């Protein structure tokens, strides 16, 4: 464990924020207080955090429809995020993005993406800064096991490899592409092996273990900044809930769900490791837990009380100059 | 003022803007024509139609970026690069290939500004070849500009001559939204006067190519030249035509057309789209909604038929609207009672 105490506290805070935020969204969705679809990141906290802890503000990430965790791990403002998910005027995107299209460019979060796998080419584009203007920013695409079958993802890996671009392809294998198991949908079953075929280093690791993700990411980021090209990480973790909230999950048993939550809790795994190593104690971590709960409940109250977008906003920002399609 | 081809005008615009702004770069298939591969030291062909000729020599591989044949990756990478502040010119060699990469154009690039709000801008130009007339057959000859114009967030232009090609491309590169720049393949060798210096032809401004009293003809892209070739016949038949080239389909200069129709009372639209939901039919719809009382005859929209573009030269000729159809339609409209 080479991370400083400060960085470990930071990592734990980000993971706990993701957990509490998503539990809150789950409760509120069940109560019917929020619009749209919600896809929870619980069970995968160590992946977003293990990757983003190694990034600077200038580095970018391109996210998925399951994007709340990526936003939080990239240090997006919790209150503005909550407002956006509630589609409020003062949300990150003015309420027009919502949960599946949330973005925070101020921290290099280039957007959740409701088109599965479409973010991978976009991440490659952000990495072109290294080639065009010698900017060493690194770019990350988070890609689900379901998205790993999309043609655009293969095109993106090939282009990044051919142009030697500073991209991390982070495959989050959570066992299911929507309702369909990875054993069924992934030909050959070896996501990391496919990436290796494009000529980049590729690793399969335990995505429930923050340290496994963070250490591999640190190495990949170093290579990327040095102009040595892309790396792939297949992080195997467990999705604690359905594809979206409301998914009855007929495709898996109660036993599986109970076992996952008991044995694959990234926060418990993290706490056990740092406490056993004697770096952080339970008191430090419990106090983070309490602060996080307060921060998120206050963001939620704010979101519920905030104004919705003015109807005049409907046709605004279609273009940057607000010229409509038919206005001269 | 120099005489240049449509092709040279396009290269000129990219060169000028790349010299002015280091964030501008070009990405696409074979745009350096083999020079991207490393050891090859011959002349860079600049794509199959020579539309990027000379750029590799001027700017090198960092800004003239050859790619694998991967249109989704090209369009997505260009969209992502634009989102982080670069100003990509992405080449979609033939517009027919939009079918393999449209998600990145219409779900991604076109929507960033709206989905993400004012924090996002997408200064992206997609240069793409359109049009029939040189025997390329069903998958290399289409004109999908009406499909592009239907997408909120995209701007769409189609120059009909070298002067507009350079000026519109410069405006498109300087614009902060995604612009689909339609280059008509049958016009690449056409010549015209093109200033050496940089100049803008604004997006969203049509132009009156010829003033007239009896009939307004709106022609798009290649159809402009075909319409102009009818001039002698129009004089013989004593028809005074006002010919308008919209140049830009989105944003669209509707007022230039309303004003003209209010004067002439007749409107003929010539569009290389397939007919159903064509851009021409949109113009007809706007005019019938806004200046209906000025009309002295039904609006006529001339397009190819509802079929793909055939390879056989005689069928391709029959596919495209031609001067005979334009003259006949014009005579019928002027004689309409």
Q: Check whether A177 has a pLDDT greater than 60.
A: yes
State how far Cα A33 lies from the chain centre: 24
Give yes or no for a cis peptide into B251 (omega within 30° of 0).
yes
B2-194 and B207-335 have identical folds:
yes
Distance CA A5, CA A11 (A): 10
The answer to whether the CB atoms of A131 and B76 lie below 8 A apart is: no
Q: Is B124 on the interface with A (CB under 8 A)?
A: no
Find the CB nearest B116 among A103, A131, A151.
A103
User: pLDDT of B13-36, one tens digit each?
Assistant: 999 999 999 999 999 999 987 665
Ordered by start, the domain boundaries in chain B are 2-194, 207-335
ipTM computed for the complex: 0.95
Distance CA A143, CA A252 (A): 22
What average pLDDT does the segment A72-78 reach?
A: 98
Q: Check whether B188 has a pLDDT greater than 80.
A: yes
CATH class name, domain A5-315: alpha beta
Catalytic residue among B140, B145, B184, B306: B140
Question: B140 an active-site residue?
Answer: yes
Q: Check whether A325 has a pLDDT greater than 60.
A: no
Q: How far is CA A79 from CA A82, A86, A90, B15, B268, in A?
A: 5, 11, 10, 46, 56
Is pLDDT larger for residue A113 or for residue B45? Answer: A113
- Label residue B37 by pLDDT band (50, 70, 90): low
Mean pLDDT computed over every residue of chain A: 95
Q: How far is CA B21 from CA A132, B17, B25, in A?
A: 12, 6, 9
What strands lie across the sheet with B207-210, from one edge to the other? Answer: B207-210, B241-245, B215-219, B267-270, B300-302
Q: Check whether A197 has a pLDDT greater than 80.
A: yes
pLDDT given at position A1: 58
Q: How far is CA B105 from CA B92, B166, B174, in A?
A: 11, 23, 19
What average pLDDT does the segment A172-193 reach?
A: 96
Q: Answer yes or no: are the C-beta atoms of B122 and B179 closer than 8 Å.
A: no
pLDDT given at position B76: 98
What average pLDDT does the segment B184-198 reach?
A: 97
Percentage of chain B lying above the pLDDT 90 cut: 94
Q: Check whether A275 has a pLDDT greater than 50.
A: yes
Q: Check whether B46 has a pLDDT greater than 90.
A: no
The answer to whether the CB atoms of A126 and B84 lie below 8 A apart is: yes
The answer to whether the CB atoms of A93 and B116 lie below 8 A apart is: yes
CATH architecture of B207-335: 3-Layer(aba) Sandwich (3.40)
What average pLDDT does the segment B132-136 reach?
A: 94
Distance CA B161, CA B187 (A): 7
B2-194: CATH homologous superfamily? Thiamin diphosphate (ThDP)-binding fold, Pyr/PP domains (3.40.50.970)
pLDDT given at position A327: 39
The alpha-carbon gap from A179 to the nearest alpha carbon of chain B, in Å, equals 23
Contact list, B117 vs chain A (CB under 8 Å): 92-94, 96-97, 317
User: pLDDT of A28-66, one tens digit each?
Assistant: 999 999 988 899 999 999 999 999 999 999 999 999 999
- Label residue B169 by pLDDT band (50, 70, 90): very high
Mean pLDDT computed over every residue of chain B: 96
Contact list, B176 vs chain A (CB under 8 Å): 320-321
Nearest chain B residue (CA) to A156: B73
Stretch among A8-17, B40-49, B106-115 having the lowest mean pLDDT: B40-49
User: pLDDT of B75-107, one tens digit each?
Assistant: 999 999 999 999 999 999 999 999 999 999 999
User: pLDDT of B263-318, one tens digit each?
Assistant: 999 999 999 999 999 999 999 999 999 999 999 999 999 999 999 999 999 999 99
The answer to whether the CB atoms of B72 and A152 lie below 8 A apart is: yes
What average pLDDT does the segment A139-152 reach?
A: 98
Nearest chain B residue (CA) to A125: B77
Contact list, A317 vs chain B (CB under 8 Å): 113-114, 117-118
Ordered by start, the domain boundaries in chain A are 5-315
Q: What angle do CA A19, A20, A24 make, to 5 degrees?
A: 120
pLDDT given at position A321: 84
pLDDT given at position A2: 81
pLDDT given at position A326: 42
pLDDT given at position B40: 63
- Label residue A328 by pLDDT band (50, 70, 90): very low
What average pLDDT does the segment B179-188 reach?
A: 98
């Amino acid at each position: 464990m080479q991370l400083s105490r400060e960085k470990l506290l930071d990592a734990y805070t980000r993971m706990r924020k993701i957990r509490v935020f998503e539990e809150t969204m789950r409760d509120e969705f069940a109560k019917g207080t929020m619009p749209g679809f919600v896809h929870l990141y619980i069970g995968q906290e160590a992946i977003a955090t293990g990757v983003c802890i190694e990034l600077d503000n200038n580095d970018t990430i391109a996210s998925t429809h399951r994007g709340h965790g990526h936003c939080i791990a990239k240090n997006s403002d919790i209150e503005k995020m909550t407002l956006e998910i509630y589609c409020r005027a003062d949300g990150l995107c003015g309420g027009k993005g919502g949960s599946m299209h949330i973005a925070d460019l101020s921290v290099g979060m280039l957007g959740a993406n409701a088109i599965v796998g479409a973010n991978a080419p976009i991440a490659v584009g952000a990495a072109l800064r290294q080639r065009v203007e010698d900017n060493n920013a690194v770019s990350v695409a988070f890609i689900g096991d379901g998205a790993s079958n999309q043609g655009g993802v293969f095109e993106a890996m090939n282009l990044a490899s051919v142009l030697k671009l500073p991209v991390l392809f982070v495959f989050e294998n959570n066992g299911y592409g929507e309702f369909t198991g990875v054993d069924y949908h992934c030909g050959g079953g070896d996501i990391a092996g496919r990436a290796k075929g494009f000529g980049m280093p590729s690793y399969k690791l335990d995505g429930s273990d923050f340290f496994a993700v963070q250490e591999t990411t640190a190495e990949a980021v170093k290579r990327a900044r040095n102009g040595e090209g892309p790396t792939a990480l297949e992080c195997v973790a467990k999705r604690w809930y359905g594809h979206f909230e409301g998914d009855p999950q007929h495709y898996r048993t109660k036993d599986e769900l109970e076992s996952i939550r008991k044995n694959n809790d990234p926060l418990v795994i993290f706490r056990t490791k740092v406490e056993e190593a004697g770096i952080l104690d339970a008191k430090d971590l419990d106090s983070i837990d309490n602060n996080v709960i307060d921060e998120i409940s206050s963001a939620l109250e704010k979101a519920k009380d905030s104004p919705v977008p003015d109807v005049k906003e409907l046709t605004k920002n279609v273009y940057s100059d607000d010229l409509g399609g038919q206005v001269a | 003022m120099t005489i240049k081809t449509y092709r040279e005008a396009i290269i000129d615009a990219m060169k000028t803007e790349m010299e002015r702004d280091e964030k501008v770069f070009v990405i696409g298939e074979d745009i350096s024509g083999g020079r991207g591969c490393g050891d090859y030291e011959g002349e860079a062909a600049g794509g199959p139609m020579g539309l990027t000729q000379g750029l590799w020599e001027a700017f090198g591989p960092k800004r003239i970026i050859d790619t694998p044949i991967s249109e989704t990756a090209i369009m997505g990478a260009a969209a992502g690069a634009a989102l982080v502040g670069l100003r990509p010119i992405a080449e979609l060699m033939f517009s027919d290939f939009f079918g393999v990469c449209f998600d990145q154009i219409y779900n991604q690039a076109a929507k960033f500004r709206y989905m993400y709000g004012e924090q996002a801008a997408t200064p992206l130009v997609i240069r793409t070849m359109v049009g029939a007339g040189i025997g390329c057959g069903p998958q290399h000859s289409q004109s999908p500009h009406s499909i592009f114009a239907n997408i909120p967030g995209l701007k769409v232009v189609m120059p009909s001559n070298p002067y507009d090609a350079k000026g519109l491309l410069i405006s498109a590169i300087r614009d902060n939204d995604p612009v689909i720049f339609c280059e008509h393949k049958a016009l690449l060798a056409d010549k015209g006067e093109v200033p050496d210096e940089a100049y803008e032809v604004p997006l969203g401004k049509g132009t009156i190519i010829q003033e007239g009293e009896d009939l307004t003809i709106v022609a798009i892209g290649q159809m402009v030249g075909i319409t102009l070739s009818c001039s002698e016949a129009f004089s013989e038949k004593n028809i005074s035509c006002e010919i308008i080239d919209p140049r830009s389909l989105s944003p669209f200069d509707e007022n230039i057309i309303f004003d003209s129709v209010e004067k002439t009372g007749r409107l003929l639209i010539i569009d290389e789209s397939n007919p159903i939901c064509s851009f021409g039919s949109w113009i007809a719809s706007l005019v019938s909604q806004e200046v209906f009382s000025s009309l002295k005859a039904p609006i006529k929209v001339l397009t190819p038929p509802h079929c793909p573009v055939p390879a056989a030269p005689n069928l391709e000729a029959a596919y495209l609207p031609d001067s005979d159809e334009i003259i006949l339609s014009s005579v019928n409209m002027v004689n309409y009672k």
